[in-house]
Amino acid sequence: MRGKIFKRSIQINAAAKTVFQWHARPGAIERLSPPWDPIEIISRTGGIETGAEVNMILRAGPIPVKWHARHVDYQENRLFQDIQVKGPFSRWIHTHRFNVNGPDRCVLEDHIEYALPFHPMGTAVMGPYVEKNLKRIFAYRHATTQADIAAHERVKAHGPKTLLISGASGLLGSALIPFLTTGGHRVLRLVRRQPNPEKNEIYWNPAAGTLMLDERETIDAVIHLSGENIGEGRWTRGKKKRIIDSRVNSTRLLAETMAKRHHPPTVFLSASAIGFYGDRASAPMDESSGPGKDFISRVCQKWEAAARAAGKSGIRTAFLRIGIVLSPQGGALKKLLLPFQAGMGGKIASGRQYMSWISIDDTISAIYHILFNDQLSGPINLVSPHPATNHEFTATLARVLSRPAYFRVPETAIKTVFGEMGVETVLSSTRVTPTALSKAGFCFRHPSLEGALRHLLGKSVC
């Protein structure tokens, strides 16, 4: 039974061997999973070699679909092939080819032969829908592959590193770790449960001051991302204490532990937030601007101060003042998607408050850029060069989704439902520029809001 053929290719400015190895490393499936319909890995054996298998759950909109794939061909640096053993197709053969196109260039080609249930009638009826979705998915996959490999190529002279990361299961950590492992780096994950040594997990408990780290373990850099979620629930006295303690205690423990090591890491990157600047209306803020007077501003000041021990010991220390990270898998964008997709979206309050945003891919790319740039230390704003007002943001999101945005959420409703948390996270206006990143030559993948949203939501023109 021969089905339909789908082919898509892209030229990548890297050797075929480099691109092949990127696909063979842990994290490739996660990096290639479209964020609007992410893949959930249930189990896997092996990598991409012949006989390797993976069981996963895909989503067709809200419907979960089980998929069992097996790799059936492997020619190092040339191709690998996987087939569907069980899943929604009656036939699926996916061949990944890596064709040499010069000493440091290759063409990545995806060739898929597929048939739907009740072929040929089922394929004829549903084929156009499948074709449209495959174009969306592979436009995303190829753009991600190309940009990720370019980022790794720029720093390949530094060689692979061993990185200690906190907040591994959070929105940022779950995107950053696959990015790092596909680049050939080794990642050690800090966890608060029983660790699994096979997954390079290390136990810690910041509240108890416990960090079970072997002094013999080489660590080149620390990326500290953990902390209590500030955007969930009202800020009661207990919640505020957890927000502060989760950041200060964990940062101090990591900074002091690293400072005392016989062979300390060369760099310590600690998450902070643009909340440092507080509500500043339309005034532009950069890294030289002082702190605000809000609760979040005080939290960020204590948070950054807790890393003092690392800096004093000579470790290059940077504070990642992260803006509104855009991803359909979490944060502000995930919360906005449902009402906007239902045609119930619109601006919040006056809509004049600034939202200093950054795409999830630019966030992890910026962290990577800082990691390998010895000139970058101190506060660094991780935001797009083009902040948007809430009115501009909501109008753009509605346009990308092809939905109206006529509704408006009154300021009083935000204050009534969310209290102080709503005032400081939703109604606050912070217009931030990425001055330090720009001066350091960082190139954004998605400098424009519309481009970022189209990429993240699969709305790019194929």
Q: How confident is the model at residue 462 (pLDDT cuts 50, 70, 90)?
A: very low
With a cut of 50, say whether residue 363 has pLDDT above it.
Answer: yes
Give me 296's structure tokens. 């979040």
> Across the chain, how many H-helices and E-strands are there?
14, 23
With a cut of 70, say whether residue 133 has pLDDT above it.
Answer: yes
Query: How far is residue 230's CA from residue 420's CA, in Å, rounded to a whole number?
Result: 11
Q: What is the pLDDT of residue 1?
A: 56
Distance from the Cα of residue 70 to its chain's centroid:
27
Query: How far is residue 102's CA from residue 15's CA, in Å, rounded to a whole number?
Result: 8
Query: How far is residue 38's CA from residue 23's CA, in Å, rounded to a whole number?
Result: 18
Query: How far is residue 319's CA from residue 275's CA, in Å, rounded to a whole number?
Result: 13
Give me 91's structure tokens. 């036939």
Domains of the chain: 4-154 (3.30.530.20), 156-457 (3.40.50.720)
State how beta strands 210-211 and 221-224 pair: unpaired
Residue 225 or residue 102, greater confidence = 225
List of residues 6+ apart from 330 with CB closer than 8 A: 171
In the numeric block, the tokens 């101060």 are attached to: 305
pLDDT of 285-314, one tens digit each? 999 999 999 999 999 999 999 999 999 999
**Cβ contacts of 135-141, under 8 Å, gap ≥ 24:** 135/8, 135/462, 136/34, 136/458, 136/460, 136/462, 137/34, 137/458, 138/8, 138/110, 139/8, 139/458, 139/460, 139/462, 140/34, 140/455, 140/458, 140/460, 141/32, 141/34, 141/110
Q: What is the pLDDT of residue 127?
A: 82
Check if the beta carbon of residue 381 is closer than 8 Å to that of residue 286: yes
Query: How far is residue 347's CA from residue 350's CA, in Å, rounded to a whole number?
Result: 7
Between the CA of residue 111 and those of 8, 9, 120, 134, 450, what are the distances in Å?
7, 9, 20, 11, 30
What secondary structure letter does DSSP report for 216? T
With a cut of 90, say whether residue 44 has pLDDT above it.
Answer: yes
Say how many CA atoms lie within 13 Å of 130 toward its Cβ.
20
pLDDT of 214-258, one tens digit each? 888 999 999 999 988 888 888 999 999 999 999 999 999 999 999
Q: What is the pLDDT of residue 400?
A: 97
The full DSSP string for 222-289 is EEE-----TTSS---HHHHHHHHHHHHHHHHHHHHHHHHSSS--SEEEEEEEGGGG---TT-EE-TTS
As a whole number, mean pLDDT of residues 98-112 equals 96
Q: What angle do CA 191, 40, 452 make, to 5 degrees?
A: 90
Which of 95, 113, 102 is CA-nearest to residue 48?
95
pLDDT of 84-97, one tens digit each? 999 999 999 999 99
Query: How far is residue 412's CA from residue 418's CA, in Å, rounded to a whole number?
Result: 10
What is the identity of the amino acid at 207?
A
Query: How far is residue 115's CA from residue 124's CA, in Å, rounded to a whole number?
Result: 9
| pTM higher than 0.85 | yes
Check if the beta carbon of residue 361 is closer than 8 Å to that of residue 445: yes
Q: What angle do CA 150, 155, 157 make, to 5 degrees?
A: 125
Q: What is the pLDDT of residue 378?
A: 97
What mean pLDDT value characterizes the chain?
94
